Amino acid sequence: MTTSTEHKIVLITGANKGIGFAAARELARAGHTVLLGARDPGRGTEAAADLAAQGLDVRFVRLDVTDPETIKAAADLIDAEYGRLDILVNNAGISRDRPHPPAELPVAALREIYETNVFGVVAVTNAMLPLLRRSPAGTIGNVSSGLGTVDFLTTPDSPLWRYADLLGYNSSKAALNAITLIYAHSLREAGIRVNALSPGYCATDLNGNTGHLSAAEGGAHIARQVTSPDEDATGMFLNENGGTYAW
């Protein structure tokens, strides 16, 4: 497994703001080339320009994880310009749960959540796998949440129990955790490690900025987790403070 000091080509989805943007900044500061994926060209271009103005090797790549055409175009661009991908961070995620209790969440909203948080991850991962296979040490990091673990959902005395009723978000992250384990198993022999990542409970637009960590702190955790030199770290839910979470 290569170390974090070796130059890597990194793609981060949903990276024009919040944790994704912060992770892009941290990885670029470490000397890596970061492809900042975003569905909105204006916001993505502005975010990439902000980091490039700081002397960082960051480039905007239009990528809507729910749009197969932009996914293919992004893969084709990376193939043509770089010939490989070393790190994929599936960061894009949404929640449409509030203010609905589980029994009142519109099925259309549930589908929208899954399109981004689950199906989008699979679509992007599959499109980027040929490029990741060309890396000497391909890494896939799926930004997840402890809210989607069975451990959390069966622990009523958790300090975050008030969020246990997020039907769409929590179940989509549970599905993402399972997807992570399945890909980790299937790609182990190819030398591609696949982990779920926890940035911690960060204040972002997704949760109304209620988290106790900043997006910058969460991004730093993600950057560290995907550049860890531990070659055995695959099929795990990496804790923001080191170690792992229970599934």
Q: What pLDDT, in 10s, does the model give residues 123-166?
A: 999 999 999 999 999 999 999 999 999 999 999 999 989 999 99
Is residue 4 included in any domain, yes or no?
Answer: no
Cis peptide, bond prior to residue 99, ω within 30 of zero: yes
The pLDDT of residue 230 is 78
CA dihedral 171, 112, 119, 13 (to 10 degrees): -100
Marked catalytic residue, from 8, 17, 114, 173: 173
Does some domain include residue 88? yes
pLDDT of residue 5: 54
Confidence of residue 39 (pLDDT cuts 50, 70, 90): very high
**Average pLDDT value for residue range 170-185:** 98
CA 139 to chain centre: 12
Residue-range definition of the domain harbouring residue 234 = 9-238
Q: Do 7 and 33 contact (CB within 8 A), yes or no? A: yes
Band (pLDDT 50/70/90 cuts) for residue 212 is: low
Q: 36 in a domain, yes or no?
A: yes
User: Quick check: is 52 in a domain?
Assistant: yes
Q: What is the pLDDT of residue 210?
A: 66
Tell me what the pLDDT averaged over the chain comes to.
93
The answer to whether residue 196 is domain-embedded is: yes
Residue 3 lies in a domain: no
**pLDDT above 60 (res 87):** yes
Task: Give the per-residue pLDDT at 213.
Answer: 78
pTM of the full structure: 0.94
Please say if 169 is a catalytic residue.
Answer: yes
CATH of residue 75's domain is 3.40.50.720
Q: Is residue 115 in a domain?
A: yes
The verdict on residue 1 lying in a domain is no
Number of domains in the chain: 1
With residue 196 as reference, give the H or E element that holds it. strand 193-197
Region 188-213 average pLDDT: 79
- pLDDT tens digits along 40-61: 999 999 999 999 999 999 999 9
**Predicted pLDDT of residue 53:** 98
Q: Are 12 and 35 in contact (CB under 8 A)?
A: yes
228 confidence band (pLDDT: 50, 70, 90): confident
Rounded average pLDDT over 109-119? 98
Instruction: Identify each DSSP E strand in 50-130 by its residue range.
Output: 58-62, 87-90
Q: Supply the pLDDT for residue 4.
A: 44
Q: What CA–CA distance (Å, rounded) separates 97 from 110?
A: 8
- pLDDT tens by residue, 5-24: 589 999 999 999 999 999 99
- Residue 211's pLDDT is 63
Pick the catalytic residue from 8, 163, 169, 183: 169
Tokens encoding 91: 């960061």
In 3D space, the residue among 146, 147, 128 whose CA is nearest the CA of residue 138 turns out to be 128
CB neighbourhood size of 40 (10 A) = 13
- Tens of pLDDT, residue by residue over 69-79, are 999 999 999 99
pLDDT attached to residue 93: 95
Per-residue pLDDT, averaged over 224-228, amounts to: 94
Q: Look at 212 and 110; give whichever has higher pLDDT.
A: 110
